[in-house]
Structure 1
Amino acid sequence: MSINQLDINSLDMILETMVKTVGDSKSEIFEIEEQCRRDFEESSKELEEIRVRVSTVIDESDSLDTKARYARKRLSEVSMFFNNFSEEQVRDAYEKAHKLQIDLQMNRQLEKQLRVRRDDLERRLKGLQQTIDRADHLVSQISVVLNYLTSDLKQVGEALKDARRKQDFGLKIIEAQEEERKKLSREIHDGPAQMMANVMMRSDLIERVYRDRGANEAMTEIKSLKVMVRNALYEVRRIIYDLRPMALDDLGLIPTLRKYLQTTEDYNENVTLSFINLGEEKRLPPKMEVALFRLVQESIQNAIKHASPKNISVKLSMTREMVMVMVKDDGSGFDASQQKEGSFGLMGMRERVDLLEGEITINSQPGIGTLVMIQVPLKV
């Protein structure tokens, strides 16, 4: 058996591994989606019960308020004409007014707790729905990838001349896909899922604090719980934003880049990021906006991960015929004339630009920094 034949067989084995890995990923994402659907149904039922209880408590509060006003009026009359009533009548009027006032306060406190729980459930349902939608979209995308792996990609061996590069490329695809799957699972588990579990435990604690220590300390716990829920919501939005910024579809490339740079700067305190738009601000074809956003995102992440820069600037210019993007950093840089082992991120960037029929130039020197320039034609 020749070496070339052996390499082709190795590539076939890699493709089979890729198909199995992607298929397993699809099953795991589907399980996450189903679990979210179950949680959504349970939370929806609880939310409906809470809404009914809120309505009931409001009615009770209105009734108690009416009775309390009547009792206070009665107490006022007794106090005004004290000599006309017996001691027992005076005591009874006072006790009734006091008891109704206490009942009213407790009922209103319960109403506040139920409203907070209702709001928490509504936010949780919104987050779960977003996760379900994203998981459903991912399953669809993975189905397309599986179809590609089982059909078109099997012909890659005939098109590639360097068997070793084919093998490395296939392995990197597996690693990247596996790493992304682990990252998504880990972020959901360690972030929103853990925070939601803490919210549930904290809500039980609030009930005990209210019973044992009173409403003031319970309100302190509720404020802390609101901070925890707000942080969970922030984490969910961040994960969704990392997967695909919704602003890209709604607002376009330039506002999304501004938001992405601000968010990235918030998460990386030692780096200052700036954005300058030098040309027209207009919408581009969706596929082009996605590709350009990913190219900028990859350039920035490469700089932060490998070059430890203090400043990163992004400049974008749009004309009628061309879109030009420049990403410059003052990091450690590298020797651009040498092909760095495992530099599949740069290879992926070049492939994206080729699909847009554009050009990409990467200028870098050790100790000076890196400049990535991308030019993409706009077809009228």
Structure 2
Amino acid sequence: MTASLRWLLVALVAVAVAAPPTVLRLWPASGSGLSAAQVADRVRAAEKLGWSGEVHTVGSLKVPGTAGFANLSSLAGGTSDLRVWWRSATSWRVDRTRSSGESDLARDDDRVVRWTYESRRAVTTSYSPVRLPDESDLLPPTLAARALSGARDDELTRLAPQRIAGHSAVGLRLVPDQAGTTISHVDLWADEASGLPLRVAVYAAGSRVPVLTTQASSVHLGAPSASTTRFDFPSGVKVHTSYAIDDAAGANAFAPFTMPSSLAGMKRRGDPADFGAVGIYGRGLTDVLVIPLRHQVAHELYDQLAQSPAATTTRSRTEARLTLRLGPLSVALVFDRTGHFLLAGTVTPQKLLTAVPELREGVGVERR
């Protein structure tokens, strides 16, 4: 080895040690001979990995901003900076920082705690797999796992690699082959060595920019210590116990309804042991959520959505109905003799409306 070459290697090592993360991210990502299916398999296998780091999310989804959907509305329709400690799917903590303040969400097995720093108020409740999306669902690994759930190999293609958060990341595109979907494609990049997703971008049909992006800005592979995910209440914090995580979880547990096994050609998803009065149908990011609503909540939501110029309302002797499309999200509110139901999903309004008569025929009423 010549002296000049040795000095070049020394300089490169020095840059690697001293360079800030922004410099390292500019270095080119390495290639990969993996097929699209093999990348997807690595991503699925990475669901069990522990990690910690920082994540930035940007969303432009318009979600109804009523009280029951306030957190989801701000998550899907704005920007968030998240600090993450992820030991497993049942042990994690996500701190969310916005201009309006900081909130923490932590899970320890069957217990979930949400703490709002400014109000010094904490709410603890039992975990429910049937619920509205929260901060943990917008992390690159969890969103990628959701997107690839049920994906077929013929829906997947490779993308050029990128360097993200200092890691060489392999790229994958998912184009869902599902009738009536409003999702054009999902692009994701995962750490080449571990398969941990580092960036996910979701595109709506007809849009050149993503409606939702989540990307890690720093990542440390390996499970953090238990002390980092455990939430210890600071002195002076007001602790409240709630019967449910959110309105969807509460309706699933307590509303007196049973849902059909399929709607609009989409099968009900989830563990049958968790099935209650809320139904989730579809696969991947193309799905429909059906929630029975209390009378007051239903009419509050109806009055808000009816103000939109794009809302369509119909009434008959036996039914009142409102339909609305908000970007890739279609919404239908149905009032009839059975009850008040919200249907929302990443499908066209036409497909969503085909679920209404099937819901009316298939929903059951339980006496509790």
TM-score tier after normalising by the smaller chain length: under 0.3
Greater share of strand: 2
Name the structure, 1 or 2, with higher relative contact order (CA <8 Å, separation 6+).
Answer: 2
Greater share of helix: 1
TM-score (norm 2): 0.24
User: Which of these two proteins has the greater Rg computed from alpha carbons?
Assistant: 1
TM-score (norm 1): 0.24
